[in-house]
Structure 1
Amino acid sequence: MTGFVITPPTTASLAISGSDQVFPLRRVFCVGRNYAAHAREMGADPDREPPFFFSKPADAVVPASGTLPYPPATRELHHEVELVVALKEGGADIAPERALDLVWGYAVGLDLTRRDLQAIAKKDGRPWDMAKGFDASAPCSPLQPLSCTGHPQQGRIWLEVNGELKQEGNLDEMIWPVADVISYLSRFVTLAPGDLIFTGTPSGVGALNPGDRVRGGVEGVTTFELVVAGE
């Protein structure tokens, strides 16, 4: 019988609200510039650009609670609050009208970005991996089952830092709604149960500093609160 030469890594997972069970994580996909105002603040044209995607490691997903470590190798850590979709089914070339049938539930997360490293990568035509896929770069609230949220089509999405509102928008401002995001992504990869999709952020992204207290949420889904570790 064939065995592993080292102990297999623990399966990454995400807590489920009100349950002792957890949701196993397979892959984490993120949609770039999916709100028009954010696309403009990042220098893009929201009327012309199709959705694009990047990934984070599954074990970059950590609880959006308690104390969040400030990552090394950056002096410009940015927050991006997002609606997160968890899939219970998968497939390829999924039609938009069937895409929402794949959803298990929703959460609220942060796509944390080492913005200084991302700027260098963009300038030099290099990959974004170290700017987007570092340890603890995807804090996420517990998952809310679909029975608790339905499919949120509209509702306020927001983030505060030290009590000051930094990001605010509405889910109905997404350039590509959730069903379209799932369908479009499935043209490029075969989706599977356990996949998470971060669906983009509204305008107002900005820096987080050691000691900052961060609160955010999506109306009808959930809220979160955490503190960035001090130096």
Structure 2
Amino acid sequence: MEMFSEVRNIYCIGRNYRLHALELGNEVPESPMVFTKPTHALVSMDGRVVELPGDQGEVHFELELVLRVGRALEPGMDPDACIDGLALGLDMTLRDVQSKIKAKGQPWLPAKGFKGSAPLGAWLPYPGAEELKAHDFALLRNNEEAQHGNSADMLFDIGTLLRHINDNYGLGPGDLIFTGTPAGVAALQDGDKLTALWQGKEVASCSIKLV
């Protein structure tokens, strides 16, 4: 946890890509859908083996752009000025568990916040929201492309997300934002290797062990 010692809050955005919402049969939200993960969910996506629960139904991978907040958002400030790093990360989800608790109207924490549910790659320079749209990201599963995304396809852009989180929950240095996943999520199998690509280059990877 050394590299994550400065992390404060982990905000995650649900259903921020239209095709992902539709592939799971969910309504497309009219405002940002925010949930959180505990910092204990973080694990470095540095080639290591990540252990995940294998006895609670399907575990789905969701590749996401992750933003690191370096300063508070002040009135009149360009939201881009708050961000001091970008990474690719995975929002691991216990999908069967999520389906059950959604049906009961219960919080998502058991499905989203378990240990190891937030593998995170190394930090990269943040180019700004507009320039970011020129950069694609992708996830390879056992060397085959499973997901391909671009921030231009977000339902709610980065500025909207930052302002919404700041106004409703607070935003400050050390906060992370998982910005949502594009279509292509699927259940993991024991031994799967996941590789995250930024502009076609590998920037993070891990192997999965279901226990």
TM over 0.5: yes
Residue 52 of structure 2 aligns to a residue in which SS?
A: coil
The C-alpha deviation readout for 1:71-113, integer Å capped at 9, x for no partner, is 2542200000000000011247x56x62111011100000000
CA RMSD of aligned residues (A): 2.2
Q: What is the 5 A alignment of 1:59-208?
A: 59-65=40-46, 66-91=48-73, 98-146=78-126, 149-151=127-129, 152-208=132-188
Q: Specify the structure having the higher radius of gyration (Cα).
A: 1
The runs of at least 4 aligned residues of structure 1 exceeding 3 Å deviation read 11-14
- Percent identity reads 34
Residue of structure 2 aligned with 1:53, choices 25, 28, 34: 34
- CA distance in structure 1 between the aligned counterparts of 2:23 and 2:208, rounded to whole angstroms: 25
Residue 201 of structure 1 aligns to a residue in which SS?
A: coil
Q: Which amino acid aligns with 1:139?
A: P
- Equivalent residue, structure 1, for 2:207: 227
Instruction: Tell me if the contact between 2:137 and 2:200 (Cα under 8 Å) persists in the aligned partners.
Output: no
The C-alpha deviation readout for 1:147-177, integer Å capped at 9, x for no partner, is xx45423322211211221111222111111
Instruction: Tell me if the contact between 2:80 and 2:128 (Cα under 8 Å) persists in the aligned partners.
Output: no
Q: CA deviation at 1:64?
A: 0.8
- Equivalent residue, structure 2, for 1:8: none
- CA distance in structure 1 between the aligned counterparts of 2:201 and 2:58, rounded to whole angstroms: 29
- CA distance in structure 2 between the aligned counterparts of 1:165 and 1:53, rounded to whole angstroms: 27
- CA distance in structure 2 between the aligned counterparts of 1:230 and 1:150, rounded to whole angstroms: 37
TM-score normalised by L of structure 1: 0.82
Residue correspondences, number = 208
- CA distance in structure 2 between the aligned counterparts of 1:62 and 1:126, rounded to whole angstroms: 26
TM-score normalised by L of structure 2: 0.89
- Gapped runs of 5+ residues in structure 1? 1-10, 15-22
